[in-house]
Amino acid sequence: MTTVFRPFTLALIQLGSIGANKADNLRHARQVILQAAQGNGVKKPDLIVLPECFNSPYGHIHFPVYAEPIGFVPGKPYDIDQCQSESVKMLSTVARETSTWLIGGSIPECDSNGKVFNTCTVYDPKGALVATHRKVHLFDIDIPGQIKFKESETLTGGSSLSHFDAGFAKIGLGICYDIRFPELAMIAARQGCHVLIYPGAFNMTTGPLHWELLSRSRAVDNQVFVSVCSPARDLSAGYHAWGHSMIVDPMGRILGEAGAEEEIVYATIEPEVLYSTRTGIPVTVQRRFDVYPDVSKFPN
Ligand SMILES: NC(=O)CC(=O)C(=O)O
């Protein structure tokens, strides 16, 4: 079945004030979601996005402490009332109250075997949890004298790709470091996603060099819309996020971009831009599967 793709408005919340107190973080996130849902005076958003790790400080020592059980299994009924995650409950409630699709950034998630994941949850306008994505590629880097970070100290990587149909677009999900792996974006685009969304938190070393470059590259090489949503920069925190949440169109144009502070960025996603890009630069029909494999055949 072909997914409907129609114009819609996207709002990215570059959330600030993420501190050590989870209840405060959830309260603040809820308040800014309610504000984002009011719109920018022109249009109300159809879809709101939060950043990576919006309910806890970002760092491997924090993940197990803040982790919550979610227990979502794709294709199986999910009862929010039975859910033990206070973050999931807050997100579900506010999605329903605002009648808006909501991509709940990411939160540390624990499973029944004691494994911890960095997990994105997605809600429909009735508050149902409809999809999750566990960060597949863990952020383990060491740039001497600049930044060392090892998510794998406490996290386990996810083992599946995640796409969902919002009724107005098919959306592919990744979390932060996942954007560095073009295969994930390529598979999502070849399987019909129109928009790729990455809650993320690049840093002051890699952010200035790679955040925009990777976002525009994933958009241009797959001829899709790409959106990256960061926390605001907080120089009193242990991890300094780059910020600059942005929305990029299939031609690589930046439709909206935040600075470093807390901010809501809105953009209208126009399907016509995707179609005219693909008609004008027809790479989607020029591929040489006699020379290399067709990743759209990847079993999902
Ligand atoms: N924080 C991440 O997962 C990724 C990142 O900061 C980078 O790739 O750089």
CATH of the domain at 59: 3.60.110.10
Is the ipTM above a cut-off of 0.95? yes
% of the chain surpassing 70 pLDDT: 98
- Contact 58 CB / ligand 1 (< 6 Å): no
pLDDT (0 to 100) of residue 273:
98
Whole-number Cα distances in Å, 237 to 75, 144, 219, 233, 234: 38, 21, 31, 9, 6
- Interatomic CA distance for residues 87 and 68, integer angstroms: 8
The partner residues of 103 in beta bridges, in order of sequence, read 49, 122
Does residue 2 sit within a domain? Answer: no
How much is the pTM? 0.97
| Candidate of 119, 142, 149 to mutate for ligand 1, largest count of ligand atoms within 8 Å of Cβ | 149
Residue 295 has pLDDT above 80, yes or no: no
Q: How confident is the model at residue 3 (pLDDT cuts 50, 70, 90)?
A: confident
Q: Distance (Å, rounded) from C-alpha 213 to C-alpha 209?
A: 7
- Residue 300 banded pLDDT, cuts 50, 70, 90: low
Instruction: Indicate whether 53 belongs to any domain.
Output: yes
Q: 12 in a domain, yes or no?
A: yes
* Res 299: pLDDT: 63
Q: Is residue 3 part of a domain?
A: no
Is the model's pLDDT at 152 over the cut of 80? yes
Q: Is 201 in the pocket of ligand 1 (CB under 6 A)?
A: yes
Examine residue 56 and state whether it is found in any structural domain, yes or no. yes
Rounded CA-CA distance 162/262 in Å is 28
Domain enclosing residue 24, as ranges: 8-297
Has residue 2 got a pLDDT over 70?
no
Q: How many domains does the chain have?
A: 1
Asked, for residue 18, whether it belongs to a domain, the answer is yes
